[in-house]
Amino acid sequence: MTDISATQIHDTLVLPYLNHAVRMFEQSYASRGDIDAAMRFGCGYPRGPLTTLDELGLDVVRDGLAARYAETGDNLHKPADLLEKLVAEGRTGKASGRGFYTYADGEVIADDQTPSADDKPQLKHDIKTVGVVGTGTMASGIVQVFAAAGYDVVFVGRGDDKVEGVITGISRGLDKLIERGKSDEDTKNAILGRLTGATSREALADVDIVVEAIAEDLELKLELFRDFDRIIKAGAILATTTSSLPITQLAAATSRPESVIGMHFFNPATVMKLVEVVTAPATAADVNETTLALCAKVGKVAVSCADRSGFIVNALLFPYLNDACLLAESGVALDVINDAIKETAGFPMGPFQLLDVVGNDVSLAIQKELFAEFKEPGFAPAASLEKVVADGHLGRKTKKGFHDYS
């Protein structure tokens, strides 16, 4: 096995991730606050990447990346132009008082990029009834989130058994909360009383927003959005939970692309705080603002971005996981990598533990999408990731992935 220190593992895997985040901010794809919030609430990281850069020192990270770039020649390791610019200006992070954020006495203070209270999104549409299409884990969680926040929810499944399964699953989940003293019977009954299950999409005719949460299959989703166009009342918001498919194409399937938006919940939706709110080119400003405000009303942290492969979280997370696979291929033990990352970066899981939780097939599919979108040679899926998928070792769900769970 290759002899390597925890610090070297950190620099090999974490510095390119930080560089990707700088480029995302540099391109005005998302705000600094949204990039940081996305990784904190979507991945459970102790700090977002831009805050981490300020903590480590932009000059230190720049020098580490420059050394890596000299060794690999990989464009992904070349320090982002904005990183070079800030270092040249003396904005090297927390220690200097300015980096991506502004500091006084070691604490972040407001500056010209800090959102004002007046910027808080408002509901521009009257939202009373929410529709959800789908009966899987994600759909069920979304149904519960809205009902728990006081909204009437109409959800549609392919059969009575599927519809009943959603209600049974939510009921069991609420019973567990009651057992732990985190809820009570009155709250449970109120939530269940707001649910209306149906097997016909026609039941969605009068909803104010519909959230699509069916399988990640473009043709199925396109057919559904065409049906939304036929069924759902004018002015309603048409949202998709897709994490990988082009929202712009779904919008084009309707006669009202201005009403279509991405609402990417993280699984499990009842627990995870993050929702990526994704605008397509035609999405109306009032639809975007209403969706952001609605997320806040149901207790979620919403971040804004545009329709691009990976959005914020997947575009930053999966190249890092892919890099971990490449590092392991060089002879570094999986557990050594896992332990080093948890120790040095404070991430809740090592990369191979996380890959096995997400599913190696899902991870490979996302990495392929990122490679196709950004055309970066360094985004090419690692051979070891392709192999575990080819071998059927998909992670915890098959009892074997990079680790054995049998």
10 is annotated as an active-site residue: no
Catalytic residue among 304, 314, 338, 360: 314
SS3 53: helix
Examine residue 348 and say whether the peptide bond preceding it is cis (omega within 30 degrees of 0).
Answer: no
Are the C-beta atoms of residues 40 and 90 closer than 8 Å to each other?
A: no
Sign of torsion over alpha carbons 120, 121, 122, 123 = negative
| Length of the chain (residues) | 406
276 is annotated as an active-site residue: yes
Q: Which of 385, 257, 398, 394 is nearest to 328 (CA)?
A: 385
Q: Which residues of 38-52 are buried (b: 16+ CB within 10 A; e: fewer)?
A: bbbbbbebeebbbbb
DSSP state of 240: E
Catalytic residue among 77, 212, 259, 276: 276
Catalytic residue among 243, 304, 338, 360: 243
Q: Which of 267, 256, 270, 254 is nearest to 221 (CA)?
A: 254
d(CA 57, CA 20): 16
Query: Which residue pairs from 332-335 have beta carbons closer than 8 angstroms and sit at least 24 positions apart in sequence?
Result: 332/1, 332/2, 332/4, 332/9, 333/1, 334/402, 334/403
d(CA 4, CA 1): 9
Specify the pairing of strand 274-279 against strand 260-265. antiparallel
Catalytic residue among 20, 77, 125, 264: 264
H or E stretch covering 273: none
DSSP state of 243: S
* One-letter amino acid for residue 266 of the chain: F
d(CA 134, CA 239): 13
d(CA 148, CA 298): 8
Other Cβ atoms less than 10 A from the Cβ of 160: the count is 11
Residues carrying an active site annotation? 243, 264, 276, 314
